Amino acid sequence: MRLKGKTAIVTGGGRGIGRAICLALAEEGANVVAAARTGKEIEETAEMVRRKGGRALAVKTDVRKAEDVRRLVAETVRAFGGIDILVNNAGVAYRKFLMDTTTKEYYAIMDTNVKGIFHCTRYALPFLLKSRPGKIINISSGAGKHGIPQLSIYSASKFAVIGITESLAAELGRKVRVYAVCPGGVDTQMYRGLYFDRPLLKPEHIAEKVLELCLPEAQVPSGTSMEVYAPYS
């Protein structure tokens, strides 16, 4: 129980990578707050944590909206007394050529993948700064390291996540450690909506890397972006 007494917010916590992260952190004793727009899914995640003996809270949240994120932070602090870990995982993607991408789709991607991180980090930071030390893990992508055809706007958003990670790490020094995790294709509902193949990576592989970064003994330098590869590829 290496995270006993710690409290973690996980956005996009209703399914896929987010749910796997919630469960992995809970197994190490963390209090888990699952946040997403779909209330039913985050309630299911919270119940899965409770069945394992953990403490969990589900807070319906649209990370694009500042008022939603302020409420998420307030409810977390009211329930558990503080915030030690923030996992910015919420994300959306459309597989389209840039010339076919609509302005509405552009904003849907950027507002969730970038502005969502801004909102969550901004409002959680006063509490993360009280932790010893607080941790922020931003879920970027392999597409945040290398541009991918038909994912230009998604790639741009994930490059931005790495930029935010590096800048924030420099701003905060040792006060809060900030990381980006950059998976390749992961077998999730979002990926299956974009492609027909089944990737080798599973949500649990990403959760393992996030957990590693959250542990007190983690020695990875703040600001690092870590790519995650299939363990048997």
The tens digit of pLDDT for each residue in 36-79 reads: 999 999 999 999 999 999 999 999 999 999 999 999 999 999 99
pLDDT of residue 192: 46
pLDDT of residue 132: 83
Backbone angles phi and psi of 177, in degrees to 5: -90, 135
DSSP β-bridge partners for residue 10: 34, 87
pLDDT of residue 10: 98
pLDDT of residue 15: 92
Phi-psi region of 137 (alpha: psi -120 to 50; beta: other; left: phi over 0): beta
pLDDT of residue 198: 58
- Give me the residues of the chain with pLDDT under 50, please: 187, 191-192, 195-196, 233
Catalytic (active site) residue 195? no
Output the CATH code of domain 7-228: 3.40.50.720
Asked if 230 and 150 touch (Cβ cutoff 8 Å), the reply is: no
pLDDT of residue 233: 44
Name the catalytic one among 123, 154, 179, 191: 154
Percent of the chain predicted with pLDDT > 90: 83
